[in-house]
Amino acid sequence: MHAEPPMKPWVDLDKVYDASTLARRVSQLGREITADFSAAPLTLIGVLKGSFVFYSDLARAIDRPMRNDFIELSSYGAERETSGAVRMTKALGASIEGEHVVVVEDVVDTGLSVRYLLDHFAGYRPKSLSICTLLDKPSRRRVEVPLDYVGFTIPDIFVVGYGLDHAERYRNLPFLGVYRETD
């Protein structure tokens, strides 16, 4: 029988950013995006599932009318290392032609997911296309991608919480913590 790995107690995860640090940074990003799109209709596209917590906080920190849509990508499965092949498992609900689009990501690691999204969305002819990511791990980049808004730049550590998972767990942690396999 397949045994589930025991879930670590939340208190055992080293905090990287606590809830109030995250909230402060997200509201700054919201103010920046509000200012940058002051006269433009905006579509905020969340990349599921990792961005769902960040997305909901960021959307409420942007003081502009907007459309909300989501796309789902899959590349990791239950593993920590990307297979390199990005797959779309849920498409957008509506056209983005002529729209100013801000794509909301949880973390940019190898860059392969953002590369895929930029290529995919460009085909739908948005008026502009920007990337907003909560976290950036530049040391693991395999393809260069332009990032317009970055919450925090972090070293090569595997983090969970605030939407990010390890094997579909820990997404509902209210803070960001380091996940260590050997703990």
Does 107 engage in binding with ligand IMP (CB under 6 A)? yes
- Please work out, in degrees rounded to the nearest 5, the angle formed at the alpha carbon of residue 178 by the alpha carbons of 171 and 183: 105
Task: Determine if 50 is a binding residue for Mg ion (CB under 5 A).
Answer: yes
Spatial distance between the Cα atoms of 179 and 181, rounded to a whole number of angstroms:
7
Among 105, 117, 131, 176, binds ligand IMP (CB under 6 A): 105
Answer whether 160's CB lies under 8 Å from 169's CB: yes
Q: Is 67 exposed, middle or buried (0-12, 13-18, 19+ CB in 10 A)?
A: middle
**99 vs 109 by CB, closer to ligand IMP:** 109
Token pair for residue 17?
A: 């950013």
Contact call for residues 109 and 138 (beta carbons, < 8 A): no
- At 46, which helix (H) or strand (E)? strand 42-48
Q: Among 62, 71, 99, 106, which residue interacts with ligand IMP (rule: CB under 6 A)? A: 106
Binding partner of residue 154 among ligand IMP, Mg ion, none, CB under 5 to 8 Å per kind? none
Q: Which is nearer to ligand IMP, 42 or 108 (CB)?
A: 108
Q: Which residue among 71, 112, 117, 176 contacts ligand IMP (CB under 6 A)?
A: 112
Binding residues for ligand IMP (CB under 6 A): 50, 75-76, 82, 105-113, 158-160, 164
Binding residues for Mg ion (CB under 5 A): 47, 50, 106
